[in-house]
Chains A and B, each alone.
Chain A
C-alpha cells in the first residue's frame, strides 16, 4: 500500500498537470495543416514537391521554390502567428472579464485600429516605422490608443470593485463611437469600399517575410508574458475578491495582462487586418478540451487558433480562386456554426 501522502501528491499532480499528450497532438495537427497550406493553391503541389522546395533541393523546380518559399510559407506562418496571438489574447480577456463572450477586441482594439487605418487611407499618410507600412502603423497606434482611452474612461468612471464591468462598458461605448467615425470618414471622403472592406475583415493576401519578421518578436513576447501570467489569470477568473485574498496585486496584474494581450492584438491587426471569431472560439474549444487552468489553456488556445486560421486562409484563397476573399469571412462562416454546436453541447453553461 502506498502511504496516503504519496497518493495525495500523485492526485495533485494528475489534477494540475499540463496535458502534454493533447498538446503534442495539436502540434502535429498544426504541422499537417501548415503542410497542407503549402500544397494548396492556384498550383497544387504534392507533399514531396513541398519538401524539396523547402529544403532547397537543387533538382526542384525554381518556380515551385518561389511559390513555396516566397508566397505560401510567409503567409502561412503569419496565419499561425496571428491565429495563436488572437486566441491567447481572447483566452486572457475571457478570464479577466469572467465573460465567455469577450474576444480580443473587447476593449476597443479593433475599432481603434479601423479608425487608424481609415485615417491613414483617407489622409494619404505615407510614413512607416520599424518595418511597418503607413497603414499597419496607423492601425497599430489606433488599437493602442483606443485601449488606452478605454482604460482611462473605466478608471475615471468607477469604483474599484466594478472596474471590470466599467472596462467592458467603456470599451463598448468607445467602440461604437469609433466605428461611427470610420463610417463617417468612408462616406465623407468617398473611399473605395473594397479596399477598406478587405482590411476590416482581415486578409493575408500578398503578405511576405517582411510582415513575419516585423510581427513575430512582439507576438512572441506577449505570448510569453501571458503564459507567465497564467496563475494570476486562474486567480482573477475566480473574482477580484478571491485574487486579492490570495495576495495578488489585482490592478497591476490586470494592467499587465491587458498590456500583453493588447500588444498581441495590435500587432496582429497591423499585419493582417481585423480577423474576427478566432479569438472567441479557439479559447472556448480549448477550454472544453483541456479545462480552464491557464497553464494548459493558453498553449492549447494558441495551437487551436493557429490551426483554425491556417485552414481559414486556405479557404480564403481557394473558395473563389483566383479571387481571394477576406479571411475574416471564412473564420465567421466556419466559426459561427462551430460556436453554435459548442453552445448546444454545453447546455447553456458559461464556460
Chain B
C-alpha cells in the first residue's frame, strides 16, 4: 500500500533560520507517528511545514503519490488538518458548533452555506469527541479539556486523511489526556487516518504511537518503533543523562521518566 504521507529530503525553518535539514519520513494510513525531541528541536516547525503554514526550504512532500505543492490551499486542507497547540480563539466567543463548522470550509468554500451533509459531518465530529451537547456553548466558557476536544473536532470535520496534532496532551489532566489520546488512537485504527503528533511528555509516547521520530541538532536522528527509539542509547545523547527508561509494568512500550540530579 502506498504511503499516506511521504517526505523526502525536507528542509524547513524560517526565512533567516533553518531549523531542520534532510528529513525523510513515510507514514502509512492508520499509523500514529510521534515527533519527539528537546525544546527547539523543530517538532512544531516540521508539523507546520507539513500543514503548509511554512513553505519548505528544500525537499518533497507527497500524499498518496501526489506532490503536496501541486495541491491548492483548500485541496490541501481537505487532506491535512492541523490542530495547533495554542488556541487563540479561546478568547473569542464563537459557539462550539460555529467553531467546529469552520472545519467544513475547505470542502464547502468560504461563502456557500453549509449543506445538511456538512451539518451531519460537523455533528458526527462533535459526537466523536464528546462535545455534541456543548454545541451552543461559547468557547471562552469551556474548560481546557473541552476546548482541546472542540479543536480536535474541528480538525475532524475537515475529514482529513492526515491529522497533525501539536502537543494534544499538554495542559490536560490525566483523565483528559487518556481520553484524548484514546480518541486519537481510535481515529487511526478504526478510521484509517494517519496521525502525526508532537509530544514532550515521553511517558505518553509508547501508549499512543506506532512509531517515533526523534529530532535533534537540526535533523531527524532516528525513526522506529517506540521500543527501539525509547532507549537510553538514543535518548541520553539528546536529552542528557537525567532520565530513566523503564519497561512498562503491564507490558507495552517503555516508559521514560525524568530522574532528578542526585537521586540514587
Q: Which residues of A contact B (CB under 8 A)?
A: 4-5, 7-9, 11-16, 95, 98, 159, 228, 231-232, 234-235, 237-239, 241-242, 244-249, 287, 291-293, 349-351
Contact check, A293 vs B120: say whether CB atoms are below 8 A apart: no
Q: Which of A8, A232, A238 contacts B127 (CB 8 A)?
A: A8
Q: For chains A and B in complex, what number of residue pairs have CB atoms within 8 angstroms? A: 142
Known A9-B123, A245-B53; judge A15-B105 contact (CB<8 A): no
* B166: nearest chain-A partner, CB-CB: A241
B95 touches which of A9, A237, A293 (Cβ 8 Å): A293
Q: Is A291 touching B93 in the complex (CB atoms < 8 A)?
A: yes
- CA–CA, A351 to B138, complex, Å? 11
CA separation between A7 and B120, bound complex, in Å? Answer: 10
Within 8 A of A (CB), among B68-123: 72-78, 80-82, 84, 86-89, 91-103, 105-106, 110-111, 114, 116, 119-120, 122-123
A241:B91 contact, CB within 8 angstroms? no
Shortest CB distance B211–A (Å): 23
Q: Of all chain B residues, which has the CB nearest A8?
A: B123
Are B105 and A98 neighbours in the complex by a CB distance under 8 Å? Answer: no
Residue numbers of B with Cβ under 8 A of A are 14-15, 48, 51-53, 72-78, 80-82, 84, 86-89, 91-103, 105-106, 110-111, 114, 116, 119-120, 122-124, 126-127, 132-133, 135-136, 138, 140, 158
Structural contact, B103 and A239, CB atoms closer than 8 A: no
- What A residues does B74 contact at CB under 8 A? 247
Complex-state Cα separation, A192 to B166, whole angstroms: 60
Task: Give the CA-CA distance A233 to B53 in the complex, in Å.
Answer: 18
Q: Which A residues are in CB contact (< 8 Å) with B123?
A: 5, 8-9, 11-12
Interface residue from A8, A237, A292 paired with B124 (Cβ < 8 Å): A8
B95 & A247 in contact (Cβ 8 Å cutoff): no
Are B119 and A351 in contact, with the CB atoms below 8 A?
no
Q: Which residues of A contact B95 (CB under 8 A)?
A: 15-16, 291, 293
| Least CB separation from B84: chain A residue | A241
CA distance A231 to B114 in the complex (A): 11
Q: What are 16 contact pairs spanning A and B, CB under 8 A?
A: A5-B123, A8-B123, A9-B119, A9-B123, A11-B126, A11-B136, A14-B135, A16-B98, A228-B111, A231-B105, A239-B89, A244-B51, A245-B53, A245-B82, A291-B93, A291-B94
Distance of A4 Cα from B133 Cα, bound (Å): 12
